[in-house]
Each structure stands twice: as structure tokens, then as C-alpha cells.
Amino acid sequence: MSLTRIYGLFLRHFYLITRSFPRILDLVYWPSIQITLWGFISNFFATHTTYYNNAVGVILTCAILYDFLFRTSIGFNMLFLEEIWSRNFTNLFIAPMRIGEILTSLVITALIRSLIGLVPAILLTSPLFGISILDLGIFLFFLFLSLYIFGITLGILVSSGLLRFGPSFENIAWSTMFLLAPFGCIYYPIETLPEIFQKIAYVLPLVYIFEEARNILINQTVNINNVYYAFMWNAFYFSLSIGLFYYSFNAAKNKGTLINMGE
Amino acid sequence: MKNLIEVKNIRKNYGKKEAVKGITFNVEEDEILGLLGPNGSGKTTTIGMLLGLLKPTSGKIFINNLKLEENRIEILEMINFISPYIELPKKLTVKQNLYVYSKLYKVQNIKERIDYLSEKLRIGELLNIITGELSSGQKNRVSLAKALVNEPKVLLLDEPTASLDPEVGDFVRTFLEEYKKEKKISILLASHNMNEVTRLCKSVLMMKNGEIIDQGKPEDLITKHGRTNLEEVFLKLSRSKNEFN
């Protein structure tokens, strides 16, 4: 055993971490986010044991909705990352494609990818657990649409970061959803969060979507305001993400990221 | 002869660093212009600006009389690029890759175009092979097919024969000579292979530290600098301390 060689290999990874802010961020927030998310979930179930009459159904429905959001967002990022990993990025950006065409193509592909994953999951819940997500009725469509728009929005925001900062932004791509999960109130009502976190949650469409899913399943009523607020915030963040993508594209042309991306 | 590429006093700064310092040149129709220079001289930055991947800090670029800044899509339709540093998606077959890029460039008769390029570049037997499984020489010919799929008027080549064995390298050079003669296209060739440049290029630009330090026909530069070949001229100019011309 050579300590010098062991130290040399340690240095190889240490230099990599210390040279990249996204990598440092990645190390720090994964444990923090996991603890925060599961802390809120545990806290809620410990103090509200009778909240869910049909706990399995509500939790599974929320899990499927969240997974759809996760698949859509990651799916979009994956499409972008695939071009970087295969060193095809430059070929794509020298093709006569408008930014709108690139985004539209990725949005459609991400939807198809998500649906391929979603349909078997929905079909499995019925025979395995006697639960159907279709219990949400016609509003299921609006909830899925809202989640899809937000998933795409996150995908575009992360892709903007990849354009601007290059492949080192990749780690952020994997973890955006986990960063937002505690604020999304997927498995617990918004009142479970501390007040400061509630303020953040209220400016995200997620909280309205999951609150409404629980409302329909538990109270058998529909609060159209939740659907409306989800779409309103979605429209805001989606417009913001498109603007940011164009800004990042121009910034990348100034900085030279586009030409170095494939190398 | 009509100029298909016109570069007018372009500069590119990265912060305080000047990567390209106001260079001007033209490439005529049916001409191959060599772009030479040591690593870091600004060749790749210049090509990046011509492809619209980099925004010049100042200056103007015209391709086929269209200003790049205002006609990016129209210009990208008539231009293409090959470099050993970029690749096609590895998990697609060669045919799938060529089909995808034919669609991106809105090629009308895709089958005929792929058949034509397959025959010319001898890649017919590779069409159903996964791109990632090809040898360097095969990948190079497939990348060249992709670069020609849109019948470009302007072709930018960044070290097109780097890492190829002499036989494949010679095949590619011969192909480029014949294709240029047949289609009357303009080619900008960045290369470190001086024999290749001497053989293919009508004239060359020598770049160093972001500037054009000399230009002319290869044989004229050899005579002017009192050397026996272009490689010696390259070494003289790249080692000189700004004793230009």
C-alpha cells in the first residue's frame, strides 16, 4: 500500500469538488433536503394520525402525481444532457433550428417519455392496492397538465443553467425536484410547514396541486381556486423559464460555452 | 469569383482577454482557404463565430452576402461543420443519424441524398451499424456525410483528418478535392497537417495570438520566407516574436 498513491487519487477527486460550486452544493443539500422532507412527513403523521381516512389511496395518488412531475422534469433534462454526453451538442446548435423548435421538440418528447412511465404505474395500483387514481375525476387531467407544465418549466430552467454554466451544472439537474419537494407539500398539508416555508410554498404551483388532490380524495369536494392558482403560477414560471433560456443562449454565445460543450 | 465567406474586422474578447483581434478575410466560391496557427491562436474561436456559436465582440460576418447576425437560420441552412471533437449520437445507427440530420436540415429527397453520400464516402455497408461501434476512420467518413447532408455552400473543417491513418486521410483529402470541384463550394480548413494544407488549399492564413500574421498561396509563402516547405514556414512564424511579414 502506498500512501502517496492513495493521497494522489484522493487529490484527483478533491480538486474536482473544490473547483466546482455545483458539486459542493450537491454535497451539502442532499442530506439537508432528505432530513427536512422526511422530518415534515414524520411530524405530520405523528400529530395527525386520523387525517387520512384512506391513507394508502391518498398517499399513493400523491406519489403517482409527484412521480409524473419528477419524470417530466428529469426527462426534459435528460434529453439535453444526452446531447452533451454524446458530444453531439455542437452539431445540434449549428443545425438551422430555432430555439423555439428545439424547446418544442424536447417538450413533446418529454411528455411521451413521462406517459410511457405513468400508464403502467396507474395500471399497477388498481390490482395491487385496489386504488384508482381515476377517482380524481375530470380534475385529474388539470392536475396532470399543471404538473406537466411545472415539470417542463423546471427542465427549461435547468437546461438554461446547463447552457450558461456548462456540464458542471449537471448535478443541479438531478436534484431540483428534491430541493422543491419539502415546499411542494406532497404528502402533508401546507400547515405542517413553518410559517416562513409556507410563504415560499404559496408561490409555487405544487402546493395548490397536491392540496387539491387531497381535497378531492378526502373531502370529495372541488376547490377550483386551487386549480386556478396552480395555472397562474405555472404561467408565471413558464414565461420566466423561456425568457431565461433565451438569455442563457445569448450569454453562452458571448461566453463560448456552446463551442466547448461537446469537448 | 464571388466571395461566399466575408469576414470584416471581427474581434472576440473574453473579459480582458482578446482571443481574436480584428481579422479580415474572404473565401471565394470554389476555394479552399487554409487557417493555420499554433494552439490558442484563435482558429477555433474564428470558426465558432462563423458558425454562430460565438457572438463577435465587434465586426461583421457575411455568408453568401447574408449578414450572419440577422440571418442565422438561413445561413446555417447553407453551411456545415466537421471536427474530431464533436460526434454523432453513439447509440443510433449511421442511417438513423443521417436521417435525423436530414430532417433537421429539411433535406427534400432524404433517401437519394443518403444513397449518394453512402456511395461517394463508401459508407453503404456501415448504414445499419451503431455509430459508437465504428472505427475512427469510419466515424470520420460518417461525420463527413452528416456535414454534407444539406449540400452546404460553405464547409468548415477543423482538423478533418486528425487521428486518421494515411490511407483514410488520403481518401478524405481526395474526396474533398473532388467534391469541391464538382459542387463549387467554399471550404475553410483549419489543420495542423501542413502537407494536407499544401495539397488542398489555394491560399492560407497564418494566425498567431488572435491576429493574421501572414497570408498568401502556400508556394508564395515558402518562397517569401526562404523555406523549403509550409511546415518550416509555420515553425518560423509561430516561433517569431511578432516579426510579421
Q: Are β-strands B58-63 and B3-14 bridged in parallel, bridged antiparallel, or unpaired? A: antiparallel
Residues of chain B with pLDDT under 70: 241-245
For position A263, what pLDDT does the model report? 44
For position A261, what pLDDT does the model report? 66
B51–A87 C-beta distance less than 8 A:
no
For position A50, what pLDDT does the model report? 66
Instruction: Please state, in angstroms and rounded to a whole number, the distance separating the CA atoms of residues B76 and B149.
Output: 13
Closest chain A C-alpha to B83 CA, distance in angstroms: 10
CATH fourth-level superfamily of B3-78+152-239:
P-loop containing nucleotide triphosphate hydrolases (3.40.50.300)
Do B72 and B52 form a contact (C-beta atoms < 8 A)?
yes
Q: Which domain holds residue A152?
A: 29-260
B90–A259 C-beta distance less than 8 A:
no
Between B110-121 and B94-104, two packed helices, what is the crossing angle to 10 degrees? 130
For position B242, what pLDDT does the model report? 55
Cα B200 to Cα A218, B178, B219: the distances in Å are 76, 11, 12
- Cite the residue boundaries of each domain of chain B with CATH code 3.40.50.300: 3-78+152-239
Whether A7 is covered by a domain: the verdict is no
Do B155 and B100 form a contact (C-beta atoms < 8 A)?
no
Across-strand partners of B74? none
Q: Sorting pLDDT into bands at 50, 70 and 90, what band is A56?
A: low
For residue range B97-136, what is the model confidence (pLDDT) as tens digits? 999 999 999 999 999 999 999 999 999 999 999 999 999 8
For position B244, what pLDDT does the model report? 47
Q: Sorting pLDDT into bands at 50, 70 and 90, what band is A55?
A: low
The total domain count for chain A is: 1
B48–A256 C-beta distance less than 8 A:
yes
Whether A8 is covered by a domain: the verdict is no
For residue range B221-236, what is the model confidence (pLDDT) as tens digits? 999 999 999 999 999 9
For position A186, what pLDDT does the model report? 87
Residue among A91, A92, A249 with most chain B CBs within 10 A, to mutate: A91
| ipTM surpassing 0.85 | yes
Whether A13 is covered by a domain: the verdict is no
Q: Identify the contact set of chain B against chain A, taking CB-CB distances under 8 A.
A: 14, 44-45, 48, 51-55, 73-74, 76-77, 79-81, 83, 85-91, 101, 104-106, 146
Say how many CB pairs under 8 Å bridge A and B. Answer: 74
Instruction: Please state, in angstroms and rounded to a whole number, the distance separating the CA atoms of residues B53 and B85.
Output: 15
Q: Sorting pLDDT into bands at 50, 70 and 90, what band is A54?
A: low
Q: Which residues lie closer than 8 Å to A196 by C-beta, 6 or more apart?
A: none
For position A156, what pLDDT does the model report? 93
**What average pLDDT does the segment A120-141 reach?**
79
Please state the pTM of the whole predicted model.
0.84
Instruction: Please state, in angstroms and rounded to a whole number, the distance separating the CA atoms of residues A240 and A153.
Output: 9
Closest CB to A90: pick one of B53, B74, B76: B53
A95–B105 C-beta distance less than 8 A:
yes
φ, ψ dihedrals at B50, nearest 5°: -65, -30
For residue range A151-201, what is the model confidence (pLDDT) as tens digits? 999 999 999 998 888 877 777 777 777 778 888 888 888 988 899 999 999
Between A21-47 and A3-18, two packed helices, what is the crossing angle to 10 degrees? 80
Whether A92 is covered by a domain: the verdict is yes
Strands annotated E in A75-220:
none
Do B32 and B176 form a contact (C-beta atoms < 8 A)?
yes
Instruction: Please state, in angstroms and rounded to a whole number, the distance separating the CA atoms of residues B185 and B167.
Output: 24
Whether A14 is covered by a domain: the verdict is no
For position A176, what pLDDT does the model report? 75
